[in-house]
Each structure stands twice: as structure tokens, then as C-alpha cells.
Amino acid sequence: MQSDLQNATEVLCASTPLRPRLGIVLGSAFGQVIDEVADATEVGFAELPGCTVPGVDGHAGQFVIGCLGGADVLLQAGRLHYYEGHSMDQVTFPIRIMAEFGVGQVLLTNAAGGIAEDLAVGDFMRITDHINLMGVNPLRGEAAAGFVDMSAAYSGPLGQALAQAAADCGVALKSGVFAAVPGPSYETPAEIRALATLGADAVAMSTAPEAIVARQLGLDVAGLSCITNAAAGLAKSPITHEEVLQQAHQAGEQAARLLGHFCELA
């Protein structure tokens, strides 16, 4: 009998003749890029056996296959978050589908709180490395298949492509270390001070699990954060999900431009 993964991949393959090499997971700030995709084919997560449908505002759940910046691309619009109560297997299943579909490179994007002094709201940060503080590893139970090396988890060449794309389209791009926390509460100021001491430059509630599974599957990984708020204790006002979504929306046009150029270069 075929597995859910094989069945889901078959549905995706049957929906389009395109076989993109590049996959992109769209975080909150990056959804507007969908409007730029030419000849788009949309496949809802509900159509994919074994794939969970996300349930948080601002996150649809679908794959979009089409042409962006002159290149074929597979976009995941809407992501599954651990804080919704999903298991790590559910959260990372779309990455497994992408790999089975034939994608060799994946760009993981997110909206994040800025910790480093040089990060302002509205900035973009290329992720150079991560600290997984989610308290779980998506590969738990799979050690028999081998221990995955994470010493160069984020690809240098893809990072260069991001830097070049940003330079080409006039978007300032910083770089730094990303910390992943489980959520769904935001952090306390003391936790943010602790994260800063650990070497984290930005923080959010996603991305690390997908990066780990992508590396297990041999994909080249790039990461990109849009800074939607100052992390807890670094600004006077409290952090709200509405503020994060509003900032994410404001950055959307620049984000779409940046991703379009990245697709040309990746």
C-alpha cells in the first residue's frame, strides 16, 4: 500500500507538468508573493492525503506551483505551527512532500522579533544559523536512519543568492542567528536577554523544524526573517499578533520583490 507521502506527492505531480527545483515556505510577511506567480496551479492541503490544514489567521494552506522571477517554483502558502497543537510530523510533512516532489533547494521565511541592536522593524535578516529551543526535534524516533549533520545547515551559496537578490532590488538585508521557540506566548524580557546571551539575533515560532527535516532529506536550505516587532522588553509597547500581522503586511511588497529576484538567482 502507498503511504500518505506518496499519495500526496502524486496529487501534486498530477496537478502540474512543472517540476521546480526550488521550494519556498511563505511566512506571515511573505504571502503577497503569491500574486506575482505566473501560470499558478493551486493545490489545497485538504486535497493532499496526510497533510494537515493550518488554522491560524493569515495562513492559508496550499501549495502554489508556477513561475516567479523567470524560474519555476513550488510555494507553500500557509504553514503548520507547533503552537497550534500539531505534532512535529504534521508541521514538517509539507517539507517531505516538497522533497518527494523533487525540490532540491528550499527557502524558509518567517516573521520574527528582532533581538540584535542593528535590527529594526521592517528589516530583513538572512538566517545564517539557528538555535532550536522548541524543546523537541522533528527527527525524534528516526535516529536509526542516521544522525543529521547540522554544522552547515544554511547553505552558503543560497545565502549569497539572497544577498545578491537584495542588492539587485535595493532591499537592505542583514544577517544573523535565528532562535526558534515553541510559543504561542511571546517571550518575557528576561527570556529575550537570555536569548541575546545565547547568540540569537531574532526569534520566532517556526522554521527550525522545517530546516532540520530539509537537511535530513538532503535539501539545500536558506532562511529569511522579516522583523515585524522588537522582541519583548526592547520596545515600550506590548507585542500583539495584530501588530505582527500589520507589519508583515507592510513589508509584503518588498518581500515579494526580494523573493522574485531570489528565484532568478537561486
Binding residue for ligand HPA, selected from 24, 34, 112, 266, defined by CB under 6 A: 112
The question of whether 134 is a catalytic residue gets the answer no
116 part of the interface to ligand HPA, by CB under 6 A: no
Query: Measured from the CB of residue 230, what is the shortest distance to ligand HPA in angstroms?
Result: 8
219 part of the interface to ligand HPA, by CB under 6 A: no
The question of whether 98 is a catalytic residue gets the answer no
The question of whether 190 is a catalytic residue gets the answer no
The question of whether 130 is a catalytic residue gets the answer no
The question of whether 81 is a catalytic residue gets the answer yes
By C-beta, is 9 or 254 nearer to ligand HPA? Answer: 254
The question of whether 205 is a catalytic residue gets the answer yes
119 part of the interface to ligand HPA, by CB under 6 A: no
Please give the Cα distance from 29 to 122 (Å, whole number). Answer: 10
The question of whether 82 is a catalytic residue gets the answer no
Binding residue for ligand HPA, selected from 43, 75, 88, 239, defined by CB under 6 A: 239
* Interactions with ligand HPA, residue window 126-185 (CB under 6 A): 181
Number of residues that bind ligand HPA (CB under 6 A): 14
Q: Under the rule (CB under 6 A), what is the footprint of ligand HPA? A: 111-113, 181, 186-187, 203-205, 228-229, 231, 239, 244
Residues with active-site annotation? 28, 59, 81, 83-84, 111, 205-206, 229, 241
